[in-house]
Amino acid sequence: MNLNFKVLKRGEKNFARRGRFRIRDIVIDTPVFMPVGTYGAVKSLSPDDLYQLGYSLILANTYHLYLRPGFELVERMGGLRGFTSFKRCFLTDSGGFQVFSLAKLREINEDGVSFRSHIDGSLHFFTPELSIRVQNALGSDIIMAFDECPAGGADYEYVKRSISLTYRWAKRSLEAHRKRDEQAIFGIFQGGIYTDLREESLRQITSLPFDGFAIGGLAVGEKKEDTYRIVSEMVHRMPEEYPRYAMGIGEPEDILFYIKNGIDMLDCVMPTRNARNGQFFTFKGKYNIRNSTFFDDPSPLEDGCPCYACRNFSRAYIRYLYMQNEILAHRLLTLHNLSFYKRLIDDIQTAIDEDRLEDYESKFMADFYKSKNTL
């Protein structure tokens, strides 16, 4: 599927880009942040909530949907849009990262990966062909090639072998894709913390006819300075004419760094998972609603936030709900955090348009970390 991606504006002092692509009749402006709906739902929110927040593209997880409820059922129910009633757009990952991070007793060979389910220990064998078959059945709008994701501390020789395997699996993923007119497919380059292997993997993957490209294998255990070095070295070398995707990136300062270096698409569980743990984000820092100072605080989670939680409820009430383990607390904190992320991305888009991203970043970082509010 041709996404008709266009770069509308480039940063004058950095590699940041403003862009746009189209899925069916839905326009996606970039940079874009995608909430994670692992099982086809963003936890505690409805599709209408996501529409109201302004999200048109969310991520669902191939590995989890393959295990439960099974891709055949989702396909019979009309794919993810029919099954979930979220009528906008889905991206599905390939399952490669979850096999790396969650599965038990993982064994890799040329054909694919055998692993035991983290749920019940049942044995499974994932191949590039099966990953694509599952994603075809799920009916997502953007699917990902199956790759191997080495651990952050993997040695050079292992990573060298890994990028060759990822390249061969990428070619098999393309060959297995049966819905090119309906689903865009992105390739993923790897290479760990090694610049020459990153360059080689990028060259290999971008030689193939994908519709977009992702930088994979970051934030998987390596030092943060290595992550930033690889990002600053590699992202702006990704093809100009295709969307660039960084997988699993969610700290606000990381979002700014990646976008400044040329990333167009990001996703992370952080705003939703942290909400369930009581954390809420504001432009003056992040806080935990369990803090006793909020016991009788009549103010909203964040002054000026337009979300439903901030328009209607106090910190004191939301803290009370959270301490009573009321599900409404999780919902309100999730609504607020996703509102914060949407406003952050909107601000970044405007700053790129107006050639003031560095100034915006400096002010944001000073305000966000001024009081050093943490969990």
pLDDT of 152 reads 83
- Helices and strands, counts by H and E, the chain: 15, 16
pLDDT by residue (tens digit) across 170-221? 999 999 999 999 999 999 999 999 999 999 999 999 999 999 999 998 878 8
pLDDT of 142 reads 98
State the residue for tokens 């003031």.
356
- Is 346 assigned a catalytic role? no
pLDDT of 104 reads 60
> Does the structure show a pLDDT above 90 at 151?
no
66 Cβ contact list (under 8 Å, min separation 6): 95, 124, 134
- Is 25 assigned a catalytic role? no
**Gyration radius of the chain's alpha carbons:** 20
From the candidates 141, 147, 254, 267, which is the catalytic residue? 267
Looking at per-residue pLDDT, the higher value among 51 and 220 belongs to 51
State the residue for tokens 């599900």.
327
> Does the structure show a pLDDT above 50 at 328?
yes
Query: What are 144's strand-pairing partners?
Result: 186
> Does the structure show a pLDDT above 80 at 322?
yes
* Burial of residue 347, with CB atoms counted within 10 A of its CB: 0-12 exposed, 13-18 middle, 19 or more buried: middle
pLDDT of 243 reads 98
Q: How far is CA 70 from CA 142, 211, 338, 342, in A?
A: 19, 27, 28, 31
Helices 156-176 and 195-206 sit at what angle, rounded to 10 degrees? 10
Domains and CATH numbers, the chain: 6-268 (3.20.20.105), 275-368 (no CATH)
DSSP-derived secondary structure for 195-214: HHHHHHHHHHHHTS--SEEE
pLDDT of 309 reads 98
> Does the structure show a pLDDT above 60 at 375?
no
pLDDT of 218 reads 87
pLDDT band at residue 40 under the 50/70/90 scheme: very high
* Nearest alpha carbon to residue 218 among 245, 249, 256: 249
* Burial of residue 348, with CB atoms counted within 10 A of its CB: 0-12 exposed, 13-18 middle, 19 or more buried: buried
From the candidates 29, 48, 93, 347, which is the catalytic residue? 93
Pairing between β-strand 26-30 and β-strand 17-23 as defined by DSSP bridges: antiparallel
User: Average of pLDDT values for 332-339?
Assistant: 98
pLDDT by residue (tens digit) across 98-141? 776 665 667 889 999 888 888 888 888 999 999 999 999 999 99
pLDDT of 102 reads 62
pLDDT of 96 reads 76
> End-to-end CA distance of the chain, in Å?
43
109-123, 135-149, 305-319: the lowest-pLDDT one: 109-123
Pairing between β-strand 113-116 and β-strand 123-126 as defined by DSSP bridges: antiparallel
pLDDT of 155 reads 95
* Nearest alpha carbon to residue 300 among 322, 334, 332, 347: 332
pLDDT of 371 reads 61
Average confidence score pLDDT of the chain:
95
Phi, psi of 62 (to 5 degrees): -65, -45
